[in-house]
Amino acid sequence: MRSAGGCAVNSIVVSDYYIEGQSFDGSVGVVETQYAEFSELPLDSGLMLSPLTIAYEIHGALNDNGSNAILILHALSGDAHVAGYHEGDIRPGWWDAMVGPGKAFDTNQYFIICSNVIGGCKGSSGPSSLHPSGDRPYGLRFPVVTLPDMVRAQKLLLDRLGIERLLAVCGGSMGGMQALQWVVAYPEMVGSCIPIACTHRHSPMQIAFNEVGRQAIMRDPSWKGGDYYGGASPDAGLTVARMIGHVTYLSDESMREKFGRRLRDKEVLGYDFASIDFEVESYLKHQGEVFIRRFDANSYLYITKALDYFDLRNGLGTLVEALSDVPVDTRFLVIAFSSDWLYPAYQSKEIVRALKGNGLDCTYLDIHSSFGHDSFLVETTQQTHLIKNFLSVTARRLGVKSAG
């Protein structure tokens, strides 16, 4: 195994480690978030983010020629913790079903990297990080960040890890948008790309839902222009923003299956608005209230704005033209889900058409699923089959050998 720029690149795989009642079959086991420090990152705005911290987690082992690395990109509320368990945790990382020994992203074969986006709040530099002056967290003094900025930060991390080329970049939702940005920004570095349930730019409806969430946060008196750290947080606003998000992540069909019109606690008519009547209300309230314990309201503002601004074309004319520098041997697997109305299949098809317009090797699948946008997180069986084969063919074509 190759040493990678001073960083330990082997993840902590403890296959015989057990938490009581918790099986680690097929799990990468207990993992730790690592942190890479950089002096600065130039941003699209012309400003410099300095210093820069990137939180990341790695799984599997890098092979001798460093050719088996896969970068996984997370969605709006995700983080670097893609798989395995943090010490003492009961719940694994956000894509644990997909990343591990024998899984879609097989850690016996591939070296997996996942980092927290800049602007986030899970270890990478963001508005809740301490301002360089040391007075207090940035708040809105944190510079505007874009999806290309996030990708540029990931490039810094890969340089640090000594990874010169990626076997694949992959992500769902915002992660898929970053994966596309990767092939445009660093076309020679990417062997294949798996954008899932995403778009090359937000529609007005996607912008609209994000904007309502932002308004909920900014109209919360506790938001205080983003300078709320150390005092009361804008929990009410962030809760409502998350509730809006959750409605858009589900589908009419999955909600009917999941909740129906079941009443909670009581069957009699009569309500005081504080109580919960329908199970779907209980679910949303729970999701909103759990979220405020793990997410920063300002990060929600910064990241959703980055999403809304993103346009893969970036002033380069058509989408076909934007993808014209992608090497012809780059392979693509584009996945959409039938019930995803937030990132509808037509948006994935736009990407596919532009790839085909450049004569690129592209497989497209519209997976039939009732889970809406959440499908990319939960429809793991079908995705495993697709991605496992896709990576296997890609690795064979590129002559990639696993570590070991």
Residue carrying structure tokens 């209230």: 289
Q: Please, are residues 114 and 121 in contact by the beta-carbon 8 Å criterion?
A: no
Instruction: State which of positions 253-272 bind a copy of itself (CB under 8 A).
Output: 255-256, 258-261, 269-272
Instruction: Give the C-alpha separation, 50 to 37, whole Å.
Output: 10
| Interface with a copy of itself (CB under 8 A), residue from 41, 58, 216, 323 | 216
Q: How many residues bind a copy of itself (CB under 8 A)?
A: 60
**278 near a copy of itself, rule: CB under 8 A:** yes
CA atoms within 13 A on the CB side of 21: 4
**Residue whose pair of structure tokens reads 């014209």 in the numeric block:** 324
Residues 35-74 that bind a copy of itself (CB under 8 A): 44-45
Contacts of 332 (CB under 8 A, 6+ apart): 192, 193, 194, 195, 352, 355, 360, 361, 362, 363
Tell the smallest beta-carbon distance from residue 154 to a copy of itself (Å). 20
- In the complex, minimum distance from the CB of residue 240 to a copy of itself, in angstroms, rounded to a whole number: 5
Nearer to a copy of itself by C-beta: 19 or 208? 208
Burial class (CB in 10 A: 0-12, 13-18, 19+), 28: buried
Residue 25 found at the interface with a copy of itself (CB under 8 A) = no
Cα distances (Å, whole numbers) of residue 119 to 56, 179, 294, 306: 14, 17, 15, 9
Site string for a copy of itself, 291-310 (x = CB under 8 A): ----------x---x--xx-
Assess contact for 27 and 83: CB atoms under 8 A. Answer: yes
Q: If binding is defined by CB under 8 A, does position 96 make contact with a copy of itself?
A: no
Structure tokens at 77: 């509320």
> 42, 221, 317, 404: which one contacts a copy of itself (CB under 8 A)?
221
Length of the chain: 404
Residue type at 196 in one-letter notation? I
For residues 396 and 319, give the distance between their C-alpha atoms in angstroms, rounded to a whole number: 30
Residue 146 sits in the site that holds a copy of itself (CB under 8 A): yes
Q: Site for a copy of itself (CB under 8 A): which residue of 131, 136, 285, 397?
A: 285
Angle between helices 235-249 and 279-294 (to 10 degrees): 120
Catalytic residue numbers read: 173, 340, 373
Shortest distance in whole angstroms from residue 298 CB to a copy of itself: 9
Residues 6 or more apart whose Cβ sits within 8 Å of residue 357: 320, 323
| Interface with a copy of itself (CB under 8 A), residue from 341, 350, 364, 366 | 341
Q: C-beta of 173: minimal distance to a copy of itself in Å?
A: 17
List of residues contacting a copy of itself (CB under 8 A): 44-45, 140, 144, 146, 201-205, 207-209, 211-212, 214-216, 218-221, 226, 236-237, 239-240, 243-244, 247, 250-252, 255-256, 258-261, 269-274, 277-281, 284-285, 288, 301, 305, 308-309, 311, 341, 344
